């Protein structure tokens, strides 16, 4: 969700068909959760990159959460995400979870339900809509849900549409004029969906201290939708022993589509492979632990030289 403007609109959601993305790879599957009322399209670049690196990739359509699937309470979003995780876990040795925006909050809830997950990737984590472009009436959302307004109002996305890249921003504006949808999400979001997202975020905040899985956090310092306070809540409280944080300085909220999408994809793939090594080293002889440390050192040198 990028900048929001409130408007009087029809109760019907934008007509859009969400499409599941799945590609068979090796024994490490990555379950990818897109943003609120959106679709796997906004994760397309990252999914294809991970596919190219050999991972099994699954970006599902979540009933009641994804665009065009109706409206369900957030508890059912979590249940449906758990079902997707279990299907992957039945087939693959490792399953990691990656969430974008509110999908990050969904990922936090999911990994508490399935702590055996290999690792967790949080991209533009949104636990509160508190970015610099969020309108002043944001605090009225919870109140408005319990009034007749919830049947009459939608929230319309406006510039910068979550992207710093001006050429992409113009492309998105044209796409939304044609079809009410673009590669960074829908043009409008229903108030009930926003209400459920806020409920999900409040629940996810409470989960953080109990999470011990390897975790990667990537966030733009100029994110106009969710301020750096969102990832810092996780960074300061999570119980993970392997925590990596990356701050971006040339992107806005939609970091999987914006100027630094290549960095996001590369660092996500590297982290997932390093997590594999770290997990294997726990049960391997001492020499394997030394090898794991050396691999991390080489990876750090490689990033420094790029």
Nearest-angstrom CA–CA distance, 153 and 157: 13
Output the pLDDT for position 37. 85
The DSSP bridge pattern shows strands 21-23 and 28-33 to be: unpaired
| Residue tagged 């944001």 (tokens) | 138
Whether the per-residue pLDDT at 174 is higher than 80: the answer is no
Whether the per-residue pLDDT at 186 is higher than 80: the answer is no
4-273: CATH topology is: Rossmann fold (3.40.50)
Output the pLDDT for position 141. 61
- What are the structural domain ranges in the chain? 4-273
Output the pLDDT for position 250. 96
Q: Please write the tens of the pLDDT for every residue from 17-70.
A: 568 899 999 999 999 999 998 899 999 999 999 999 999 999 999 999 998 888
Output the pLDDT for position 168. 82
Whether the per-residue pLDDT at 275 is higher than 70: the answer is yes
Element housing 176 (H / E):
helix 166-179
Among candidate residues 254, 67, 72, the one with its CA nearest the CA of residue 168: 254
198 within 8 A of 142, measured Cβ to Cβ: yes
**pLDDT category, 14, cuts 50, 70, 90?**
very low
């Amino acid at each position: 969700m990028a900048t929001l403007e409130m408007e009087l609109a029809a109760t019907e959601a934008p007509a859009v068909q969400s499409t599941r993305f799945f590609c068979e790879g090796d024994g490490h599957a990555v379950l990818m959760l897109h943003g609120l009322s959106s679709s796997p399209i906004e994760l397309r670049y990252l999914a294809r990159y991970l596919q190219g690196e050999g991972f099994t990739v699954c970006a599902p359509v979540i009933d009641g959460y994804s665009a065009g699937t109706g409206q369900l309470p957030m508890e059912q979003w979590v249940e449906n995400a758990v079902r997707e995780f279990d299907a992957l876990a039945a087939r693959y040795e490792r399953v990691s979870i990656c969430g974008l925006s509110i999908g990050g909050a969904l990922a936090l809830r999911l990994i508490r339900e399935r702590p055996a997950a290999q690792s967790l990737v949080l991209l533009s984590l949104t636990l509160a809509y508190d970015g610099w472009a969020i309108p002043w009436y944001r605090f009225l959302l919870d109140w408005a849900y319990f009034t007749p307004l919830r049947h009459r109002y939608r929230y319309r996305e406006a510039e910068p549409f979550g992207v710093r890249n001006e050429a992409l921003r113009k492309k998105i504006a044209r796409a939304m004029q044609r079809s009410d949808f673009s590669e960074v999400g829908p043009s409008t979001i229903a108030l009930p969906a926003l209400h459920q997202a806020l409920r999900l975020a409040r629940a996810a905040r409470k989960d953080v201290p109990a999470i011990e899985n390897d975790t990667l956090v990537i966030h733009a310092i100029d994110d106009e939708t969710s301020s750096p306070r969102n990832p810092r809540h996780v960074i300061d409280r999570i119980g993970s022993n392997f925590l990596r944080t990356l701050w971006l300085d040339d992107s806005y909220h939609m970091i999987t589509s914006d100027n630094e999408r290549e960095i996001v994809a590369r660092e996500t793939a590297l982290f997932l492979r390093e997590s594999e090594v770290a997990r294997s080293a726990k049960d391997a002889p001492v020499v394997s632990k030394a090898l794991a440390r050396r691999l991390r050192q080489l990876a750090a040198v490689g990033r420094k030289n790029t």
